[in-house]
Amino acid sequence: MAYAYDDQNIFAKILRGEIPNKTVLDTEHTLAFHDIAPQAPEHVLVIPKGAYVNFDHFAQAASEAEIVDFTRAIAAVCKELGVEPGEGGMGYRLLANSGEAGVQEVPHLHVHVVSGRPLGRMLQKQ
């Protein structure tokens, strides 16, 4: 695995406090904040604080503490948004775009938590 992390990406700048964000959750290893261009009534980005390019990089290189914290943070965001189906919420979708085929714009791992309306098909037909 040979990932080079670009520390000038926009989420690295958010983590360094160089760019403001609307924080939803801030834990030891994870930050969650509102997407600047929401594609649904609820659209939150969850990112690890470590320098990981995408999900497979994170899953292979992160510590267990980072992985547990990140996973639990996603659940905490769902709870904060009130969208957990098990608690009567309307549900949500998690997305982690990676690389060219995934059309990843920002090269720092982020999971989109999207909800607030019926979200339609998972993928557009070509």
Per rule CB under 6 A, count of chain residues that contact ligand 5GP: 13
Place of tokens 């996973």: 71
d(CA 108, CA 9): 7
Among 23, 36, 65, 117, binds ligand 5GP (CB under 6 A): 36
If one asks whether residue 58 binds ligand 5GP (CB under 6 A), the answer comes out as: no
- 3-class state of residue 92 by DSSP: coil
If one asks whether residue 9 binds ligand 5GP (CB under 6 A), the answer comes out as: no
Closest CB to ligand 5GP among residues 29, 108: 108
Q: Select the span of 1-9, 61-69, 75-83, 101-109 touching ligand 5GP (CB under 6 A).
A: 101-109
Going by their DSSP bridges, the two strands 23-26 and 42-48 should be labelled as unpaired
Place of tokens 């834990």: 27
If one asks whether residue 10 binds ligand 5GP (CB under 6 A), the answer comes out as: yes
Look up residue 86 and give its DSSP letter.
G
Q: Is 57 a catalytic residue?
A: no
The minimum distance between CB 108 and ligand 5GP, in angstroms, equals 9
The dihedral through the CA atoms of 13, 17, 19, 25 has a sign that is positive
If one asks whether residue 106 binds ligand 5GP (CB under 6 A), the answer comes out as: yes
Picking from 1, 65, 21, 4, the residue whose alpha carbon sits closest to that of residue 48 is: 65
Residues that bind ligand 5GP (CB under 6 A): 10, 19, 21, 33-37, 97, 103-106
